[in-house]
Amino acid sequence: MINAKYIFVTGGVTSSLGKGIISSSLALLLKSRGFRVTNQKLDPYINVDPGTLNPYEHGECFVTQDGAETDLDLGHYERFTNVRTSQANNVTTGRIYSSVIEKERKGEYLGSTVQVIPHITDEIKNRIKILGNTGNYDFVITEIGGVVGDIESLPFVEAVRQLKREFGRNAIVIHLTFVPYLAAAGELKTKPTQNSVKNMLSIGVQPDIIVCRCEKHLTKSVRDKISLFCNVDSASVIESIDAPTIYEVPLKMMDEGLDTQVLKLMDVNSAPEPDLSNWKKFLYQHNNPVNEITVGLVGKYVELHDAYKSISESFIHAGAVTQTKVNIKWIHSESLEENDDAVKEKLDGLDGILVAPGFGSRGILGKLKACQFARENNIPFLGICLGMQCAVIEFARNVLGFKGANSVEMQASTPYPVIDIMEEQKKITNMGHTMRLGNYPCHLTEGSKIFEAYGKADIEERHRHRYEFNNKYRQDFISSGMIPTGINLQNDLVEVVEIPSHPFYVGVQFHPEYASTVESPSPIFTAFVKAAAHL
């Protein structure tokens, strides 16, 4: 195949129907037939990137290898397909407008009136084609955030209309809608789907496939009705029934023939059957655990589990490879700040403790207490980013006796003069950010837990932080038994610390959770789960 084919995924009726999971599932099915696939997300909000969005509102910010701060759907794409994404895979309205305005300021529009159509829509189309034009992909699956009919998503749907005209059968639209079951009437209702497709038609887009999210199976008559009223073949009406885990969705989509119908509509006549044997093995191990553990996830955004999406998914991947059911006990770090009884009550009996990443000083004291409890009670511990920084500061305060150990960010939580155990490091950031973002290499010490986990000395993991371990104190830590076991050799930065005398006490400055996928679970999560399950 020379030209890339474009598949657009839009949503109707309501948000949260799982466009990201459907897009990821389709990508997996096409990939497992041997095609080269990438997923893209277009977000209608005006923020230039999701980096500054409040995790309470938007869930986690996912970081790509090239250091882009992106929407959490890119995490689903990577976890399902094991295909790495980049800045080009996530585009917001804010980014589109800022580049159009920049071009206008440079005079690139030669005095013409700059308008939504064609200038904004052209910019959107370019961003979509960038991926296809690399020549690296047979299929580009572009998901449009939000719900069709929203004011913000109009320019995106207009761009899709134009691309459909331009590409003919090399572009299709999959529209995801909701088919509610009315218990009182004992019926599935198709009217919201009909209305949502009418909405699409009013802006000139006829969906080619309609995926119906539902709680009860679609009957033949419901399928026929949708096919008739929405002007699609009955093979283009795909049921997406609630699944016990998102990882079942690709199999359900295969049973419903989503990928087959996509290929048929796009004139791809010969394609191997999808090989999902590894995926099925993963699901079997996930569904048939032989061990069970409970880990405490100590963080400050625990009310919204999506804020730690990649972490909870990493536990699912690591749990499946080790056939371990990992229960997560969500613990608000501030709830550990009341008194020591609260700490004992919340943390006693856990098989492992993970102290989560985060920003700002709120809840830090509770995180320090969790580090201390895990350290003193020999409970397997994994600290990620801010969690590693807390482990280091707790050790400095309570073992080295540096009472004022701190980072500028955490200052509020000590009455003592500050000792900057973590220091702000500006020199080595990439892409002009004030943060270290994206992949950086790390050299692991042979014989350490982290080396054992990865099975090699040189790794790369993703970062998202401002503060770094202050090398002035490195020797004090080593002398007292907290050892740097992972170093960024280019800049001599401590990336991993461990306490060798503890059964498993590991802090990582990077975010291993972003790289964890079904096909390639995070080695350090797997090692942590094994330690917690005594495997």
Instruction: Catalogue the active-site residues.
Output: 385, 511, 513
Contacts of 1 (CB under 8 A, 6+ apart): 35, 138, 268
| Residue 331 and residue 298 in contact, taking contact as beta carbons nearer than 8 Å | yes
Of all helices (H) and strands (E), which one includes residue 426?
A: none
Stretch that binds ligand GLN, among 146-154, 183-191, 290-298, 463-471 (CB under 6 A): 463-471
Q: What is the largest CA-CA distance in the chain?
A: 75
What single DSSP character describes residue 150?
A: B
Which two tokens mark 292? 């069970």
Stretch that binds ligand GLN, among 170-178, 284-292, 395-403, 464-472 (CB under 6 A): 464-472
386 binds ligand GLN (CB under 6 A): yes
| Residue 65 and residue 84 in contact, taking contact as beta carbons nearer than 8 Å | yes
Stretch that binds ligand GLN, among 88-96, 326-334, 356-364, 370-378 (CB under 6 A): 356-364
Indicate the residue among 71 and 409 with the shorter CB distance to ligand GLN: 409
| Residue 407 and residue 420 in contact, taking contact as beta carbons nearer than 8 Å | yes
Gyration radius (Cα) of the chain, Å: 25
Binding positions for ligand GLN, 210-229, rule CB under 6 A: none
Stretch that binds ligand GLN, among 141-149, 218-226, 352-360, 446-454 (CB under 6 A): 352-360
Q: What is the smallest separation between the CB atom of 63 and ligand GLN, expressed in angstroms?
A: 9
Stretch that binds ligand GLN, among 160-168, 227-235, 284-292, 357-365 (CB under 6 A): 357-365
Q: What is the smallest separation between the CB atom of 333 and ligand GLN, expressed in angstroms?
A: 12
Stretch that binds ligand GLN, among 52-60, 181-189, 337-345, 458-466 (CB under 6 A): 458-466
467 binds ligand GLN (CB under 6 A): yes
Q: What is the smallest separation between the CB atom of 440 and ligand GLN, expressed in angstroms?
A: 14
Pick from 21, 22, 7, 42: which is nearest to 137 by CA? 7
In sequence order, the β-bridge partners of residue 181 are 188
User: For ligand GLN, which residue of 357, 383, 512, 521 counts as binding (CB under 6 A)?
Assistant: 357
Indicate the residue among 385 and 396 with the shorter CB distance to ligand GLN: 385
What single DSSP character describes residue 19?
A: H
* DSSP-derived 3-state class of residue 79: helix
User: For ligand GLN, which residue of 359, 376, 408, 458 counts as binding (CB under 6 A)?
Assistant: 359
Q: What is the smallest separation between the CB atom of 467 and ligand GLN, expressed in angstroms?
A: 3
Indicate the residue among 145 and 357 with the shorter CB distance to ligand GLN: 357
465 binds ligand GLN (CB under 6 A): yes
* DSSP-derived 3-state class of residue 353: strand
Of all helices (H) and strands (E), which one includes residue 467?
A: strand 467-469
Draw the binding track, 42-81, toward ligand GLN (x: CB under 6 A; -: no contact).
Answer: ----------------------------------------
User: For ligand GLN, which residue of 358, 484, 507, 512 counts as binding (CB under 6 A)?
Assistant: 358
Pick from 346, 387, 348: which is nearest to 505 by CA? 387
Indicate the residue among 385 and 527 with the shorter CB distance to ligand GLN: 385
Which two tokens mark 509? 């400055």
409 binds ligand GLN (CB under 6 A): yes
Bridge pairing between strands 69-70 and 381-384: unpaired
User: For ligand GLN, which residue of 367, 462, 466, 530 counts as binding (CB under 6 A)?
Assistant: 466
Q: What is the smallest separation between the CB atom of 372 and ligand GLN, expressed in angstroms?
A: 19
Indicate the residue among 274 and 383 with the shorter CB distance to ligand GLN: 383
User: For ligand GLN, which residue of 147, 254, 385, 532 counts as binding (CB under 6 A)?
Assistant: 385
Q: What is the smallest separation between the CB atom of 356 and ligand GLN, expressed in angstroms?
A: 8
Indicate the residue among 37 and 493 with the shorter CB distance to ligand GLN: 493
Indicate the residue among 230 and 396 with the shorter CB distance to ligand GLN: 396
Which two tokens mark 259? 């990928």
Q: What is the smallest separation between the CB atom of 384 and ligand GLN, expressed in angstroms?
A: 7
- Torsion angle, CA of 250/254/258/261, rounded to 10 degrees? 150
Indicate the residue among 164 and 466 with the shorter CB distance to ligand GLN: 466
Query: For the chain, how many residues are written?
Result: 535
- The CA-CA-CA angle for residues 292, 75, 177, to 5°, reads 100
| Residue 252 and residue 241 in contact, taking contact as beta carbons nearer than 8 Å | yes
Pick from 483, 467, 387, 393: which is nearest to 428 by CA? 467
Q: Residue 417 carries which side chain, given as an amino acid letter?
A: P
Pick from 49, 85, 82: which is nearest to 66 by CA? 85
Q: What is the smallest separation between the CB atom of 386 and ligand GLN, expressed in angstroms?
A: 3
Report cis status (omega within 30 of 0) of the bond before 244.
Answer: no
Separation of alpha carbons 38 and 486, rounded Å: 32
Separation of alpha carbons 305 and 59, rounded Å: 8
Pick from 84, 53, 49: which is nearest to 66 by CA? 84
Q: What is the smallest separation between the CB atom of 497 and ligand GLN, expressed in angstroms?
A: 14
Q: What is the smallest separation between the CB atom of 206 and ligand GLN, expressed in angstroms?
A: 44
Which two tokens mark 412? 């509020």
User: For ligand GLN, which residue of 33, 164, 462, 464 counts as binding (CB under 6 A)?
Assistant: 464
| Residue 381 and residue 355 in contact, taking contact as beta carbons nearer than 8 Å | yes
Please count the residues of this chain forming the interface with ligand GLN, following the rule CB under 6 A. Answer: 10
Kindly list the residues in this chain that would bind ligand GLN in the complex (CB under 6 A). Answer: 357-359, 385-386, 409, 464-467
